[in-house]
Structure 1
Amino acid sequence: MTAPRMLRGLVAAVIAMPLALLGACGGDDGSGSDGKTELTFFWWGGEARAKLTEQALALYKQKHPDVTFKTTWQANQGYFDKLATLTAGDGAPDIFQIDDNYLAEYATRNVTEDLTRYKDSGKLDVSRFPESLWKYGVVGDKLAGMAMGENTQGLVFNKTKLAAARQEPPRTGMSWEELISWAQRAGAATKVAGTMDPSADYKALWVWLRQNGKEFYTGNQLGFAKEDVQKWFELWKGARDAKATPPADVIHEGNATDITKQLVVTGKALTSWVWANQMPDIQKNTKDELGVVAYPGDPSAQWARASMYLSVYRGSKHKDVAVDVLNFLANDPEAGKVLGTDRGLPSNLDIRKQVAASVTDPAMKASIALEDELVKKFGASPSVPPKGHATVKTELVKAAEAAQFGTATPAQAAEQFVTAAQAAISR
């Protein structure tokens, strides 16, 4: 064959070669022609989080000058719509932030890299994490995300109003019935409803279920029956009838997820049921002094929940470098000092101790104190919620409000919720 004919044959073969195979020929070290690696990084949050994240990434770049970052961030609203679009196309970020509402969905769609081999080799060091915290990133048998902060359920209460009325505050370890009786007494003394009704709050129901030997989910199935939810709705119907909670229209206000609308902020109840790391933001919205304790019942039903995760895209061409960045953000003392408690209490207990020593905000100190108290009592982490969990949460609010407003009995509302929840996770 002549040289010109051979050349034409090679060109034709290259043109016919599948694009995926051409991509594979380029290797997966992520290095460009200049030897540098660019990682894309996508997260949600406000300007303060963006500033802190950029500062921590700048520290990494100082130690790894061949790595650069292309960062994108936005507010929480619309974030997962954008992430779905990116991961469905060619623009998926190498590293992205995610929470337990969507982790299982992205893991089962094979969007997230399984980090198990990195954990087992020590390249992703979780040896200083609470065990239940890093395990709360496992979906099936794959580690789908690295916990970037710890959180747990917290019952926030109004210390100022209780002290003025000479009422004892709620305490960790009270039974649910004791909490409702306390709310009756405190409400009568302060002329403010004793407690927000949490029957629409999935995290309160989840803790109550675990205390009664059940789970919210067992793998990809509901871990409870209609009868369990009926008992839960009946518990809070009794509390409403006893005037331990506000009326239904006020409870509806508190069912909003906006921190500024929590009833302990608006002064319409003495307690609100939140995540403990929301305590500082809640405190900013009221002049009254607040406190925080665990949810009622046995505190071992609570667990070290990942406030959010960082995951690596399974199709990334530079997964090793991306994992090294995750390891740095979680375990480097300088990075920990920069990031502080913005994404929850640091997962690394040594970093957490370092950060806690520098905290001056009383509300954050109270949140850290609660976590420190409970970390020794936490139970095993439950299954990460399956796909459809966000819809399940919405359906619980609908059903609970039907019971709260009296348009359905607790039994009817329970059946409504279980039917809708099963449909949501079966889609």
Structure 2
Amino acid sequence: MESTRTIRLGKKYLILALFIISIFSCKDDNENNENLEQVIEEGTQDVFEFGFNLDDYVVKRDTIQNGDTFGKILERNNIPYPKIFEITQKSKDSFDVSRNLQLGKPYTLLCSNDSLQQPKCFIYQPTKERYVVIDFQDSIKAYTSYKPIKYVEKTASGVITSNISLSMEELGKPYMLAIRMSDIYAWTIDFSRLQKNDKFKVVYTEKYIDDSIYSGIHEIKAAYFEHNKEPFYAFEFETDSVLGIRDYFSDEGKNLRRAFLKAPVSFSRISSRYNLKRRIAHYGYRLKAHRGTDFAAPNGTPIMSTANGTVTRSGYGLGNGKFVKVKHNATYSTQYLHMSKRNVKVGDFVKQGEVIGYVGNTGSSSGNHVCYRFWKNGKEVDPFKEKLPEAKPMSDSLKAKFLEHIKPFKKQLETLDYPIKTDSLTIELQDKKLTT
């Protein structure tokens, strides 16, 4: 396999190389001898990944290429067809390799550490965290596992000079942190109209796989935003342990969200509103009712469910393109059209803010956008003219627990200092890193 990168991990190779080097560079200097001993000791440590000692194998890594199948990959590595068939049949109940391999996803072959380099184990990684092992070195077994994840707590504070994205960039913080904050405050602060000298503080966690691979923002635990000199607190709190629903509340326990988000995409603009008498260029300017609200956004922008609910439709239509429909309760449903990719299937329960697809230009569409449609009692309506319900309030029994829960976070926010600007250089005063 020409495209496969082969990594040989053997103690004997490293020790031999170090021995040869020592012959030509040996000195009586004790300091050099000590350094050499340290290198040998550190370099011969076993390397573990996916639950295997990689030092026992020849490790071949690659990604699924166009036309690749599980059988073709093993066949290229000298596994006979009867053996491939046996492996496929015995592992399909745990993971169907004939169907589930996706183009571009990485895989690893653990091969015998000899001249034959016979494959012993196939490991497929559908996500950064999850991996599937098909082990056929003794008996054939297949299972799914997860890489170890570390969460690192961090803090940020800033003063708005233009917009929150620029402020995050000046602080060296991820752009996604700005998006997550705009989502939390979606019903209380208009992030497109922030004022100069508005301020924010936030306590959040980042996710790392195998201790070092950055995997994005995990959660925002607490935030403070001062907008037009008015304070807005936000604290994350679990309100339904069965469904795992977490929401954000003010320091007084008031839900910051409504039952529905204002928009299914962040940082977008409305390119066309609900209009029953609209003339559409795409249809030759004929009168054609537009029963949705179009949000223009770049291709691939995440589309979020605007409320908790169950996916009732996920498919393709000539006009709708790729679309998803969500039923929220007996009264309300929403639909999201023209996706480039759908991220959910029928029957999935989705939470408010969960990504259900990505902005595209499929179906009858003249540009990248999502057409957001809103049903009330089976009739399509304009959500911006409806008096939508408030989010479910916190129960009295939970409020006492919540007020106790936020005490340390509120104190942590209060102790954060705002950055000082000196010669256009932003100095962040605090960035706590606590591993949990």
The structure whose residues are more often strand, as a share, is 2
**Is the structural similarity TM-score above 0.5?**
no
Normalising by the smaller structure, the TM-score range is: under 0.3
TM, length-normalised to structure 1 = 0.26
The structure whose residues are more often helix, as a share, is 1
